[in-house]
Amino acid sequence: METTNNDLSIQSIQEKDSEKLIEMLNIFWNGLKEKRKTTKVAPGILQNLPDVITKDPYPVKHTSLENVFKEVYEEILPYCVNTANPLFLGYVTPPSLDITWLGNAIIAMLNQNVSFSALSPAGTAIEQYVVNQLCKLVGYSDISGGVIVSGGSTANLQALITARRSVLGEKVAAVGNAQSGGSQRIYCSTQIHRSIHKAAIIMGIGVENVVEIPCDVNQKIDVSKLRKKIAEDIADSKYPIAIVGAAGTRACGSFDDLKSLSEIAEENKIWFHVDGAYGAFLKLSDYKPKELDYLHLAHSITIDPHKLLFMPMDNGCLIVRDRQKLIDAFGIEGEYLEKFHPVGQDFCDFGIELGRSMKAFNVWLAFKYIGLDLYKKEFDRLLILAKEFKELLDNEPEFERIGPSESIIVCFRWNPKVSYFSEAKLNIVNDKIRTTLIKEGTAFLNGVTIQNQFALRICFSNFNTKVEDLKVLLNGIKNMSKSII
Ligand SMILES: Cc1ncc(COP(=O)(O)O)c(C=O)c1O
């Protein structure tokens, strides 16, 4: 007899398919491993999206597991960017470690809510452990702490909320921005990540109060101009609340002078936050930028496991020198929020979210399974790879490096260095090179404009990339450029 939808329930289909799920996962994983070797970097990108909407506008009926998976293979997979391809280099979005898909499966199976410690003792202990490891990595003391969040943008937002609460005091929580009676100010360089501006909008501070200080030739904030600007603003009755330093700028991966920024923050009794979303991890490496020696001077640091710890999206982290500052900013009372028998930190008091997943578990798994030694080895390798790539470019007459490059980001352009090639033409051709590479699916590079020059940008965060891949890329660009001009 055929089963109808009326005979089914969520429980019954789960029981029916419980074994099949593992089979499907096995088939999917084996298929994906093969596909990763043969598929291009960016199939379908810049062309069209999968047609999942008109195919099934309102999914009322239960669909068999086989048919759902068929759709995954046929409709979804071909449109996925292949982040495991060695030439996926456009952003600091590396492939995720294999162990983390297992971690994600366990997180979903257990479905712990890491809000109160009593509701998720294991999840709480794991998150405390992970956060403590990250605090140790940057050189923080025992009173430090932090919280796992969705990514660098959220970490930066939560850092600035914490900064405002710390600098303006308790009253800001009660009366909001009216507390300062004037413009609050956030200081950073022109090269800071735009998530700082987004945070200023969300917090009601406004982008015009994000004061961008010019950079020197190495794209590091000009500290004397910063000092002068803060003094002027104080004289003008503004309310400086935070300086944001970059441990890895968005375009070229430069590191600000963190020691001087910390001193200026102390002098003015304001908060010092460091956006080290990817760059803070490099502190582990023997080849780290020297500014990282002063990372621990920051009041707070953004450090994203979904960047250089190779976690899947979305796994970010904010750490603070004094964890009480987070509780001051985010702890809130409510009768339904009654903390029964707290056995550890209640992570809902450390950030915006109440219901929270156990995603720290994935980082914990990786710390155990990979170990810090192998992470260090990989960071060393990525920094050396970036250096080798710079040498390749310097030895190729048709290429030219653009901007500074002191860590894992290298910007460059194709330039035949002939007189009839104007700057404007070079910009157009290099942009075309980038879009052609992506359309063909050969490589995924990002583009940035540095002092009016359009550059191709490579972020070395992919553990599959080798120097041979980069030679293939440069040869490909040379050949392609002949048909583009
Ligand atoms: C330096 C820096 N800060 C913040 C962010 C924002 O991080 P997310 O994309 O995780 O929100 C990024 C992302 O590229 C970044 O490179």
CA distance 309 to 328: 29
Q: Is 408 in the pocket of ligand 1 (CB under 6 A)?
A: no
- What does the pLDDT look like over 152-185, one tens digit per residue? 999 999 999 999 999 999 988 888 888 777 799 9
Measure Cα distances from 242 to 96, 275, 321, 322 in Å.
33, 12, 15, 16
Q: Is 304 in the pocket of ligand 1 (CB under 6 A)?
A: yes
Q: What are phi and psi of 319, to 5 degrees?
A: -120, 150
Which residues are registered as beta bridge partners of 275? Answer: 246, 302
**pLDDT tier at 336, thresholds 50, 70, 90:** low
pLDDT at position 136 is 98
Closest residue CA from atom 14 of ligand 1: 92
CA distance 246 to 219: 10
Q: Is the pLDDT of residue 57 over 90?
A: no
Measure Cα distances from 276 to 227, 253, 268 in Å.
22, 10, 23
Q: Is 193 in the pocket of ligand 1 (CB under 6 A)?
A: yes
Nearest to 251 by CA among 456, 467, 463: 456
Distance of CA 11 to the CA centre of its chain: 38
- What does the pLDDT look like over 37-50, one tens digit per residue? 888 887 755 567 77
* 190 CA distance to ligand 1 middle (Å): 15
Q: 120-134: string of b/e by CB count within 10 Å (b at 16+)?
A: beebbbbbbebbbeb
Closest residue CA from atom 8 of ligand 1: 152
Q: Is the pLDDT of residue 3 over 60?
A: no
CA distance 198 to 70: 40
Q: What is the mean pLDDT of residues 433-442?
A: 92
Closest ligand 1 atom number to CA of residue 304:
10
pLDDT at position 131 is 98
Q: What is the mean pLDDT of residues 201-226?
A: 97
Q: Is 92 in the pocket of ligand 1 (CB under 6 A)?
A: yes
pLDDT at position 188 is 98
Q: What is the mean pLDDT of residues 186-201?
A: 98
Q: Is the pLDDT of residue 79 over 80?
A: yes
Percent of the chain with pLDDT over 90: 82
Q: Is 248 in the pocket of ligand 1 (CB under 6 A)?
A: yes
Q: Give start and end residues of each alpha helix (H) in 169-292.
A: 171-175, 195-202, 223-235, 258-268
pTM: 0.96
* 119 CA distance to ligand 1 middle (Å): 31
Closest residue CA from atom 6 of ligand 1: 152
Q: Is 305 in the pocket of ligand 1 (CB under 6 A)?
A: no
Give the residue with greater pLDDT, 342 vs 174: 174
Q: What is the mean pLDDT of residues 358-366?
A: 98
Contacts of 118 (CB under 8 A, 6+ apart): 339, 340, 341, 342, 343
